[in-house]
Amino acid sequence: MTAVSGSPANGRAKLADVAKLAGVSVGTASKALSGSGRMRPETRQRVLAAVEALDFRPNQYAQSLHTGRSWTVGLMTTDGIGRFSTPVLLGAEDALGAGKISVLLCDTRGDAIREQHHLRNLMDRRVDGIIVTGRRTDPRPPLTGVERVPTVYALSPSTDPDDMSVVSDDHSGAQLAVEHLLATGRTRIAHVTGPAHHAAARDRARHTVDLLERNSLELATGRVHFGEWSEAWGRRAAEAVLRTAPDTDAFFCGNDQIARGVADALRENGTDVPGRIAIVGYDNWDIMALACRPPLTTIDTDLTEIGRQAALRLLSAIGSEPHPGLHAVPCRLVVREST
Amino acid sequence: MTAVSGSPANGRAKLADVAKLAGVSVGTASKALSGSGRMRPETRQRVLAAVEALDFRPNQYAQSLHTGRSWTVGLMTTDGIGRFSTPVLLGAEDALGAGKISVLLCDTRGDAIREQHHLRNLMDRRVDGIIVTGRRTDPRPPLTGVERVPTVYALSPSTDPDDMSVVSDDHSGAQLAVEHLLATGRTRIAHVTGPAHHAAARDRARHTVDLLERNSLELATGRVHFGEWSEAWGRRAAEAVLRTAPDTDAFFCGNDQIARGVADALRENGTDVPGRIAIVGYDNWDIMALACRPPLTTIDTDLTEIGRQAALRLLSAIGSEPHPGLHAVPCRLVVREST
DNA sequence: GGTCACTGAGCAAACCTTTTCCTAGGTGAC
DNA sequence: GTCACCTAGGAAAAGGTTTGCTCAGTGACC
């Protein structure tokens, strides 16, 4: 099984084969490829031709062993891979792929043991950086034991404000929704959202109240309706709101499922949407927003962009230009027929 | 920047540090760790203690460089990462993670150029194997240029029957649905499904017709209703079916969205579900099946299991025990209130 | 003509682990 | 007491690439 040196016949070509064919030393061949080192153009040409002829591809393990760089980042999703982490993941993969970096996927299923296990694995593989993403917007404790590895938290920020975090800008989301409703002449706005123990629900609600106050308005029912992120809750809440404040002329909902529930309830009791009551959702989850009757005006959180931004920050941190702190990606308003 | 040999002070410990601390040679230390080689138990103990003391972790690049194994597999999703590929991906990640193997994620977005690019990347990284997954059940052409690397196709089988493919068993799905409906006394069953140019729609329809024939029955409307995978199509189709065959007593739908559309249409024209008409969906997409009124009886395709099976087959192929051919994972029936 | 500067290219160490081969010492048997 | 065998452990090569250093040659300038 001795490798016949100089012959790439058994297995793939290595740099020594290239060098031999080009009539130069291994070192020179390496320099020709990396572009470093000075040499006659014709020499470089010869090497490049040999590379072509042998279909040479450098052994990444040998490279990484030497340089210490793996051209790999770890992507840890802490809550399973779901509706929220998927677009983030895609955005990140896209931005990293452009930089010749591959993504190692780790799913912790929310289990701390598993997280620790994956983390060790990533460190063993000498990843250049790590992106951590979750499905909730509540802050999470930072990873432990990654001191030397740049880390970016996407969607779920780190509780440590000096870490790099990229999140969705709930303020801009609430603002877009409220201003859109005001612009279309609505003034008696109800807010139906998820559980109060979710930061996403709390934050969006707070900003909504603030924005209304700034316009000398208050919520139609005088309070926020916290509940669940479900259609069923949307339906129940719609009825409750109309019982309390029959003159409500708009619903701003904490997500698209709730909004769809509201829309269903209104349609079934014969209320004209958007004629009498307008509805704005949140997330722009196409499957909900488009299937809704009428199709839903909603806030797009641009999760893919959050993933991209996270990746870009990670890349610059790997290039030793860290931008620590929290970075909020603004939302976009998507107008459809419910307003 | 000379490494002070024997001192792991600058950077992480290497095997030489461990050996020095344990008072043995590097080779012996390696043998102690791998369990190979014979040595006095006390010597092995000393090495292990040194490993512990220095928190030594072997350099995977050095290992891979030597052994040629990367303990990594590529996971290519060809249609973006969506509702279907995600569970497959999780199942695979789970099974592989147990085998100390990490997953490199590649998303081709359905672009052949991108696929080729990622493929080269995976080959450069000397992955031990590749799992290819898509969102459609239609067969896809096999990857080109991966001769030496075991490959498993999940969800979308390869057109080459000698490749390893793991798919969902549409026959079992149709069978479970039809037999369940027959068992609950339904005999005039309509089938509403997606576009005829999707293998999933065609196959499920074909099996449904076959199974009815075997029971000397035929479809309520005499034909399959091909359309789109959408709620809107479900609503339209439900009305069309009832116009043609008012005595229809069950709908078997090609996916849960269509089923939900059917359910909505029936509820809105006052038809009792499941009293007068039963509905069975397909996919067990919780977000649809649970939000449906009434909650949907449906076929669970067990995508996670498909991912797991694909990973297991890949592992055994890597261990040079390939099981070529098509492997179909059976579905499960999930009974809820729509039947 | 001699020295200097510069350029093109090769040599060899380093990156870290695994594995094969080998040695030295010890033990048991005859 | 000698020989053969066995065992623990060491030395070194291999795996493929990068890079700093060295060396030889060439042209220019004094």
Among chain A residues, the shortest Cα distance to B231 is held by A291
The distance (Å) linking the CA of A6 with the C1' of D16 is 14
CATH architecture of the domain with residue range A170-300? 3-Layer(aba) Sandwich (3.40)
Indicate the residue of B60, B107, B257 with minimum beta-carbon distance to A125. B60
Q: Report CA-CA distances (Å) from B40 to A79, B50, B54.
A: 46, 16, 22
Query: Smallest Cα–C1' distance to nucleotide C16: which residue has it?
Result: B62
CB contact under 8 A, A81 and B86: yes
Same fold, A15-58 and A71-168+303-329: no
CB contact under 8 A, B104 and A107: no
Please check whether the domain covering A15-58 is classified as CATH 3.40.50.1100: no
Sign of CA dihedral A278, A283, A285, A286: positive
**Residues counted in chain A:** 339
3-state secondary structure of A191: strand
Instruction: Measure the CA–CA gap between B85 and B132, rounded to whole angstroms.
Output: 10
Residues forming beta bridges with residue A164, ordered by sequence position: A152, A325
Edge-to-edge order in the sheet of strand A278-282? A225-226, A189-193, A250-253, A278-282, A297-300, A332-334
Residue A124 CB neighbours (<10 A): 15
The residues in A 176-205 lying below 8 A from B, measured between CB atoms, are none
Residues forming beta bridges with residue A104, ordered by sequence position: A74, B104
| Chain A residues lying within 8 Å of B90, measured CB to CB | 80-81, 107
Stretches where chain A sits below pLDDT 50 are 1-9
Instruction: Measure the CA–CA gap between B184 and A7, rounded to whole angstroms.
Output: 71
Indicate the residue of B90, B121, B287 with minimum beta-carbon distance to A102. B121
Residue B332 is predicted with a pLDDT of: 97
Residue B313 is predicted with a pLDDT of: 96
A3 interfaces chain B, CB cutoff of 8 Å? no
Residue B62, CB, strand D, below 7 Å: yes
| Chain A residues lying within 8 Å of B106, measured CB to CB | 93, 102
Residue B11 is predicted with a pLDDT of: 67
Residue A11 is predicted with a pLDDT of: 66
**Which residues are in reach of strand C, CB within 7 A?**
A 23-28, 37-40, 43, 62, 65-66; B 3, 11, 14-16, 26-27, 30-31, 33-34, 36-37, 56, 58-59, 62-63, 65-67
Residues forming beta bridges with residue A334, ordered by sequence position: A298
The distance (Å) linking the CA of A28 with the C1' of C13 is 16
Residue B173 is predicted with a pLDDT of: 97
Reference B307, options B152, B83, B154, B117; nearest CA is B154
Q: Please compute, for residue A24, the number of CA atoms within 13 A of its CA located in the half-sphere on the CB side.
A: 24
Among chain A residues, the shortest Cα distance to B264 is held by A264
Query: Hey, what amino acid is at B198?
Result: H
- Say if CB A164 and CB A313 are below 8 A apart: yes
| Chain A residues lying within 8 Å of B86, measured CB to CB | 81-82, 86
CB contact under 8 A, B124 and A57: yes
Q: Evaluate the omega torsion of the peptide bond into residue B322 and state whether it is cis, within 30 degrees of 0.
A: no
Indicate the residue of B61, B90, B107 with minimum beta-carbon distance to A64. B61
**What's the fold here for domain A71-168+303-329?**
Rossmann fold (3.40.50)
Residue B307 is predicted with a pLDDT of: 96
CB contact under 8 A, B57 and A123: yes
Q: Alpha helix (H) ranges present in chain A? A: 15-22, 26-34, 41-54, 60-67, 85-98, 112-124, 170-183, 199-214, 231-244, 256-268, 286-289, 303-318
Contacting residues for A258 by C-beta, under 8 A, at least 6 apart: A192, A193, A194, A227, A229, A230, A231, A233, A234, A237, A281
Indicate the residue of A93, A105, A120 with minimum beta-carbon distance to B93. A105
A116 interfaces chain B, CB cutoff of 8 Å? no
Residue B12 is predicted with a pLDDT of: 83
Contacting residues for A90 by C-beta, under 8 A, at least 6 apart: A304, A307, B80, B81, B107
| Chain B residues lying within 8 Å of A103, measured CB to CB | 104-105
Instruction: Measure the CA–CA gap between A62 and B244, rounded to whole angstroms.
Output: 70
Closest approach of A125 to chain B, Cα-based (Å): 6
CA angle B138, B130, B311 (to 5 degrees): 85
Query: Hey, what amino acid is at B338?
Result: S
Residue A55 CB neighbours (<10 A): 9
Stretches where chain B sits below pLDDT 70 are 1-11
- Say if CB A288 and CB A281 are below 8 A apart: yes
Q: Tell which strand D nucleotides have any atom below 7 Å from a protein Cβ.
A: 7-12, 14-20
Taking each continuous run of H as one helix and of E as one strand, the counts in chain B are 12, 12
Residue B40 CB neighbours (<10 A): 8
Buried/exposed B18-35: b ≥16 CB within 10 Å, e otherwise: bbbbbebeeebbbbbbee
Q: Tell me which of A56, A85, A102, A133 to substitute to probe the interface with B (most B C-beta atoms closer than 10 Å).
A: A102
Q: Tell me which of A12, A61, A123 to substitute to probe the interface with B (most B C-beta atoms closer than 10 Å).
A: A61
Closest approach of A317 to chain B, Cα-based (Å): 20
- Say if CB B303 and CB B145 are below 8 A apart: no
The distance (Å) linking the CA of A40 with the C1' of D25 is 14
CA angle A234, A238, A240 (to 5 degrees): 120
Query: What is the residue extent of each domain of chain A?
Result: 15-58, 71-168+303-329, 170-300
Residue A58, CB, strand D, below 7 Å: yes
CATH of B72-168+303-329, one of 3.40.50.300, 3.90.850.10, 3.60.10.10, 3.40.50.2300: 3.40.50.2300
The distance (Å) linking the CA of B24 with the C1' of C28 is 28
